[in-house]
Amino acid sequence: MEEKKAPATSGRAGSASPTPCRSLATANSGSKLNILAAEPIKRLFRWRGFQFALQGPNVVIYILVILTGFYGTQVGSQNFATVLTWTVWWSAIIFTFLFAGRLWCLMCPFAAMAEWLQRLTLWTVKRETFGFN
C-alpha cells in the first residue's frame, strides 16, 4: 500500500507541520517578520557576552552619574546627575517601554550589578550561587 505524504505547508499558524523559518529576504508581506532568521542577528543574540556588551556601558554611565551627584554642585538645576535622571533618563525609559518593549530590562544597570554580585562573575554562569533559591 502506498503512503500518503502530507502537503508542504507555509509554516503559518494552524498548518499541519512547521517548516523552517524563511529568511528576511524571502518573507512576503502576508507573513510575520522573523528577525532571527537572519544569521548575523541570530549569532549576535546567541553570543554569550551580548547582554554584557549592553549592560557594561550602562553600568559605567550609571556609576559616573552617581559620582557626579555626590561630587558635583549641590544646586539641583545645575547638577548633571539630577538633570540627567529626571529629564533624560525617565523620558527615555518611558519611550523605550512604549516602542521597544522590555529592551531596557535587557540592559538595566541595576539588575546587572545585582546579578554580577550574586554570581561573582560578569557573564559566566555558575551553578553554585548564594541566596535563598
CA angle 74–80–85, rounded 5-degree value = 105
Q: Is 23:38 a contact under the CB 8 Å cutoff? A: yes
- Return the C-alpha cell found at 23: 529568511
For residues 30 and 117, the model is more confident at: 117
**44 Cβ contact list (under 8 Å, min separation 6):** 50
Q: What pTM does this model have?
A: 0.59
Q: What is the pLDDT of residues 10-26, one digit of tens each?
A: 444 444 444 444 444 45
